[in-house]
Structure 1
């Protein structure tokens, strides 16, 4: 009964607050047709990312984990015309689908997709001495969460917002003895944010069409 209600409420939120858009629906259809795993953020979650980026006046966004680009498009739409999302994707097939989606959404000029292992792409970004990012969204392989968070700190500034997805894992983060790598990665993300003195963080539990999970959200303070 719980999950049925969660999904129904998500439907209501989508109907009332996240107006259906043909472009975004086409992205999800393209991802499904290409056989990509159905692990995109939900429409309500995409709108949340969009609003957070707008709230802080973000111009530069780093996304670690592109998949088919659904969340990327939500983020890119929040930016001014001279804004940029740098998004990192390991899988060439996912990257191909994402690039096609960016073109269809009319946002290819606002998105830079870097293909290959994210840690190598992050190292390249670090060596380029690029401007710091205003928002970082981490939604990739969970065991690497601590590594991604370290890079997020290196590529940020005071005031940067860092968001890490999938940190609740159906409540499995409560089990300290569990050995699921994804759960361990979620716990590691929470521990990193708790131990890093330059971060002020919290986490939000989420329920809906994506089940029971959550986001950790942190502000870089110094």
Structure 2
């Protein structure tokens, strides 16, 4: 695998808050599954370029990706992030506060499917999504994101290659891999979106929702 040190040091250098999150996760016995810096920087640029003002993230963990996303917002923008685990949400709130982003970020603790339904019933719309929650529900989350999307919204999805290139091994019948292959097919073929799968991090899917 290519050494990413050059790219990270030149384009995706972390500040002290971001640097501290992996150690904080380790101290709390939480999984080390935050996105890498180059994916964080890519998300930041995508949100910035798209002019996003309302962001919805599924899967907060320690708030690493949340901070990148929220920093792309204008001062009046809002990032809503949904996290199932209350301990993860608590730690994320600490880091979001340290990053001085309390005004931009709302952490919602609960099941993502249930919270998405509540947002839909409330008539909420978002112009940027980052899906990084439980993989078995990725197809459902993608469908809900499309239904909650403002015109020309951007949807980003992590782990679409899954631990390297595991998704490419058709002989591996792991149900998670089968689900991710299905999601990749949807991204590539669904007429409602225009998409690309980027080979950075663990595979970052990018889709633009077509306007009606």
TM tier, shorter chain? over 0.9
Does residue 77 (structure 1) correspond to residue 58 (structure 2)? The answer is no
Matches within 5 A, 1:1-222: 3=1, 6=2, 9-130=3-124, 132-169=125-162, 170-206=164-200, 213-222=202-211
**Cα displacement string for residues 1-49 of structure 1 (whole angstroms, at most 9, x for unaligned residues):** xx4xx3xx31111211123311211233322222211110111111111
- Structure 1 consecutive aligned stretches of length 4 or more whose deviation exceeds 3 Å: none
- TM-superposed CA distance for 1:134, in Å, is 1.1
C-alpha root-mean-square deviation of aligned residues, in Å? Answer: 1.4
Deviation at 1:196, TM superposition (A): 2.0
Alignment TM-score, normalising by the size of structure 2: 0.93
* Structure 2 stretches lacking a partner, 5+ long: none
Stretch moving more, 59-68 or 170-179: 170-179
Taking the aligned partners of 2:83 and 2:14, their CA distance within structure 1 comes to: 26
CA distance in 2, matches of 1:34, 1:84: 28
Take 1:71 and 1:81, find their aligned partners in 2: how far apart are those partners?
18
SS in 2 for 1:159: strand
* C-alpha contact 2:58 2:112 (8 A) present in aligned 1: yes
User: Tell me, what secondary structure is at the counterpart of 1:108?
Assistant: coil
Distance apart, 1:177 and its partner CA: 4.6
